[in-house]
Chains A and B, each alone.
Chain A
Amino acid sequence: MTDPSPVLEMTGITKQFPAVRALDGVDFRLLPGEIHALLGENGAGKSTLIKVATGVQESDAGTIRLGGVPVRFPAPAAAQAAGISTVYQEVNLCPNLSVAENILIGREPTRAGRIRWKELERQAAELVARFGLDVDVSAPLDAYPLAVQQLVAIVRAAAVQAKVLILDEPTSSLDRQEVTRLFELMRRLRDEGVAICFVTHFLDQIYEVCDRMTVLRGGRVVGEHLVSDLDQGGLVRLMVGRELAELDELADHVRTESAQHTEDAAPALLHAQGTGRRGGIEPFDLEVRAGEVLGLAGLLGSGRTELARLLFGADQADSGTLTVDGEAVTLRSPADAIERGIAFCSEDRKAEGLIPALTVRENIILAMQAARGWIRPVSARQRDELVSQYITALDIRPANPDVLAGQLSGGNQQKLLLARWLITQPRLLILDEPTRGIDVGAKAEIQKLVVSLSDEGMAMVFISAELEEVLRLSHTVGVLRDRRLVATWANGPELGTDQVLSTIASGVHE
């Protein structure tokens, strides 16, 4: 491919959020007639970059040029008018309107202000048919499954005379056949000169349909390559990043120990047999023993969070049995799980962890207090002792229990949530992406904490997108892909990154 002048050129894009710098001087170029993969793990900055490009958020610094002309997008409508069309990760259509309206809203054919319904439906039906989609355009959108809705969203985006088409993980709800159809359409549009930016977590798809790629990590661009120049292993390594040298010792410590663990005939603390939930995760078998760290690896959307939520009763399993200490249990709510000594730190600290309007002190004591019930408050003395003890132990900063929790940085928020659970002295601690979006120092501290807690006999489930981290800390490693637990291995020196990576990438258990 020659190097024509880019359609969309973003330079030096920086976006600062209160707790984290989401984008740090990102350069991104989109050429006409290419399918360009935008890659990176969660928190790498992909979503923010797309939001900036589509006018949902404005960047703090940097310029956007469209066809060489500097532009500003204060609102999504402005980006759309300029020819940037977007399909978002979640279906962003109006489920209550008809398929036809969703495709053509804002461009409805009218005569003297009156919508020409027949014409509207004819146009929509034509567009839908071109995509080979078999839907009744007069039916409301929510009469169709999510996959169809997603395809409708793509039809809508393609129907505009777009110069740039941004597809933000459009394939997560599509089956193989639908994906094939989508790719056909994408290629067709590309050949007509449309620049397509494609975000996906399915690596195979990148090699199937994309021409070039840009990889983000930690808000920076770490690589811009032709797809043909980089193999899958190299790509995953680029996305996941290099490990921290200072933590290598941890790995040795854990790995020498893990052999003993697996041979230990200690009864399982928690045992899942055929546990699953439709639309969440397929039935899986799992065992966790006291003092064992079970690491779960897999890309975003592979079902790792869904698995954890079932173990905690945050969602209810619809199949299989769960035993705790050999006793079958039904977890109807998190409170049930907590009663049995299970604790869970959600990956979404903001929505599912923190109560930002309460103080650090209240946030830390919350789970313990909830378990005791409101009638038996933790005494002020005991509370203050515990809180200051854990603030010191975990080095939460500022070390002021009266600060509102919402005002801590990401790493400190994470430590605060850990403190919340450690106070309840759980026997099984489930950590979902505890190191995401926090600075390197805090990350190292949390990793060390995981090791020392397991040494003290606490069972852990440790979920992370960073493979090195999982391999470093776990006694047992499970790999998830496409909402399935595809493999579990005892960790050891013989288990290499490559083996796990290839299982993540291919789903084949070697």
Chain B
Amino acid sequence: MNTVGTETSGTDTATSGASGNEALARLRRAASHRLFWPAVILVGLMLVNLPSTPDYFSIGVRHGHLYGSLINILIFTAPQILVGVGLTLVIATSGIDLSVGAVVAIAGTAACWWVVHASDQNAATTALAAAGIGLAAGLACGAWNGFFVARMGVQPIVATLTLMVAGRGVAQLIGNGQIITVNSSSYALIGGWWGPLPSGILIAAAVVVLTILLTRRTALGMLIEAVGGNAEAARLAGVRATRIKMTAYIFCGFCAAAAGLLLTSNTSSADANNSGLWYELYGILAVVLGGTSLAGGRFHIGGTVLGALVIGTLNNTLFALGVPSQSNLVFEGGVVIVVCLLGSPKFRTKVLNLRPGRRLPVPAAPTTEA
């Protein structure tokens, strides 16, 4: 869809036409793809590691498990991918969900609470029920947000802010302020190894694939984009926008809950304070890096995955270079701003001297203002 416009983007250099310009035009065409820069950053970050970690790209097998730097990054990134995917749909409806971090904590503690209070912690049914409870908690949180945004018409930032504030408190309430430690082999399996692969990778991959199927094989994706692109026009075209938004928030809650299960199962403990901390920020960053506009409309699940991988690799690289973990935030804050600036039409015209939008093979330029 986005590639259409690039067909003739070389025309602006045609006047000074030379073969060198053609290569330049081709490069520019590639560079204008929305995933070009995130991909370049990802590859660049990986290469940075190569001198200090020569076997950075190698993946081995140890005790029947895959291991290697890349695998570690994937394990670390899986919950963030989950949150990012859910957030992508919410942002596509031109909304936002600031409560994902809190929902991660609620779902995780709720599940662990169940396991601790079960008669037999190790039973498979215990783990399944716990997972069910965690996911149900996530769905409930999503429905709560959706209710206030879609039905009551409260601004998304505000509606989800309340759950962001109160949610951590709720999580602490469930855990009675303590870190809940579970001792359940079956629960640990949720975030453990499934065959040679860590479960997180498989779960994240499954959710990503399912989401893509759910949105692109049905009409859900298009209707979400329609609502996010122009809510009133969508309503007048008969789209039941309330339901669509509700669905997006519930799905986001579900994804956050899955991330919560993964995190707590991984460590066999639930820390209401720190579980999912900063996840709303990582999630938004991943979505923005992936080329989905915060204003809503077009969304790109694959882009979000790439965005989350960039963040995961960045964190991993900084860690490997011995940079204190908190200063990752400085880099991430910088990245958010740079990405947003690059996406701002005003910045493009004023500072970069680029025409807003891409040129297209139609007589009229994009309508931006009437």
A residues lining the B interface (CB < 8 Å):
17-19, 312, 314, 333-335, 338, 344, 346, 350-359, 362, 365-367, 369-378, 397-398, 400, 402-404, 406-409, 420
Contact = CB atoms under 8 A, between A and B. Distances in A.
A404 B366 contact: yes
A374 B219 contact: yes
Interface in B203-251: 217-220, 222-223, 225-226, 229-230, 232-240, 244
A370 B222 CA distance: 10
Given A369-B222, A373-B219, 12 more contacts: A334-B238, A351-B230, A351-B232, A358-B225, A358-B229, A365-B222, A366-B237, A372-B219, A375-B218, A403-B4, A406-B367, A407-B365
Interface stretch (B18-26, B260-268, B330-338, B356-364): B356-364
B219 A335 contact: no
Nearest to B293: A357
Given A374-B219, A377-B219, A356 B367 contact: yes
18 contacts: A19-B364, A314-B236, A355-B225, A356-B229, A356-B230, A356-B367, A358-B222, A358-B297, A366-B226, A369-B219, A370-B239, A375-B219, A377-B217, A398-B362, A403-B360, A407-B365, A408-B362, A409-B364
B236 A366 contact: no
A455 to B, nearest CB: 26
A403 B368 CA distance: 16
Given A357-B298, A408-B362, A420-B237, A400 B4 contact: yes
Contacts of A404: 1, 4-5, 360, 366
Given A18-B366, A19-B367, A367-B237, A374 B232 contact: no
B233 A351 contact: yes
A404 B222 CA distance: 14
A492 to B, nearest CB: 34
Q: Max chain A CB contacts within 10 Å: which of B361, B366, B369?
A: B366
A335 B367 contact: no
A407 B366 CA distance: 4
Contacts of B369: 17
B297 A357 contact: yes
Contacts of A351: 230, 232-233
B238 A335 contact: yes
Contact of A355 (B234, B238, B370): B234
B4 A353 contact: no
A377 B367 contact: no
Q: Max chain A CB contacts within 10 Å: which of B230, B360, B368?
A: B230
A344 B238 CA distance: 10
Given A355-B226, A355-B234, A377-B218, A333 B240 contact: yes
B236 A346 contact: yes
Contacts of A350: 367, 370
Contacts of B244: 374
B188 to A, nearest CB: 37
Instruction: Label chain A's interface by main secondary structure.
Output: loop
A409 B363 contact: yes
Nearest to B232: A352
Contacts of A356: 229-230, 366-367
Nearest to A312: B236
A227 to B, nearest CB: 31
A324 B234 CA distance: 24
B367 A362 contact: no
Contacts of A372: 219
B234 to A, nearest CB: 7
Q: Max chain B CB contacts within 10 Å: which of A18, A352, A374, A402?
A: A374
Q: Max chain A CB contacts within 10 Å: which of B218, B219, B234, B368?
A: B219
A333 B235 contact: yes
Contacts of A352: 232-233, 236
Contacts of A18: 364-368
Interface in B1-26: 1, 4-5
A407 B226 CA distance: 16
A404 B366 CA distance: 9
B219 A406 contact: no
A407 B229 contact: no
Given A356-B229, A357-B229, A338 B238 contact: yes
B230 A355 contact: yes
A152 B155 CA distance: 31
B365 A370 contact: no
A362 B223 CA distance: 9
Contacts of A19: 364, 367
A353 B233 CA distance: 5
B249 to A, nearest CB: 15
Contacts of B226: 355, 358, 362, 366, 370
Q: Max chain B CB contacts within 10 Å: which of A344, A367, A397, A404?
A: A404
Contacts of A403: 4, 360-362
A391 to B, nearest CB: 13
A414 to B, nearest CB: 13
A472 B293 CA distance: 46
A190 B370 CA distance: 33
Given A403-B360, A406-B367, A378 B219 contact: yes
**Ordered nearest first, which 5 A-B pairs have the shortest CB separation?**
A370-B238, A338-B238, A357-B297, A355-B229, A377-B219
A310 B220 CA distance: 28
A378 B298 CA distance: 19
A366 B218 contact: no
Nearest to B365: A18
A408 B367 CA distance: 8
A401 B369 CA distance: 23
A371 B219 CA distance: 11
Contacts of B217: 377
B240 A402 contact: no
A357 B225 contact: yes
A16 B364 CA distance: 11
A182 to B, nearest CB: 29
A204 to B, nearest CB: 30
Contacts of B230: 351, 354-357
Contacts of A407: 360, 362, 364-367
Nearest to B370: A350
Contacts of B368: 18
A304 B232 CA distance: 19
Interface in B154-174: none
Nearest to A371: B238
A420 B234 CA distance: 12
Given A17-B367, A18-B366, A409-B363, A353 B219 contact: no
Contacts of A314: 235-236
A370 B235 CA distance: 9
A352 B367 CA distance: 15
Contacts of A335: 238-240
Contacts of B362: 397-398, 403, 407-409
Nearest to A48: B370
A338 B298 CA distance: 25
A370 B236 contact: no
B334 to A, nearest CB: 28
Contacts of B367: 17-19, 350, 356, 406-407
Interface in B238-291: 238-240, 244
Contacts of A398: 361-362
Given A335-B240, A353-B236, A374-B220, A406 B4 contact: no
B319 to A, nearest CB: 38
Contact of A374 (B218, B233, B235): B218
Contact of A366 (B222, B232, B364): B222
A80 to B, nearest CB: 22
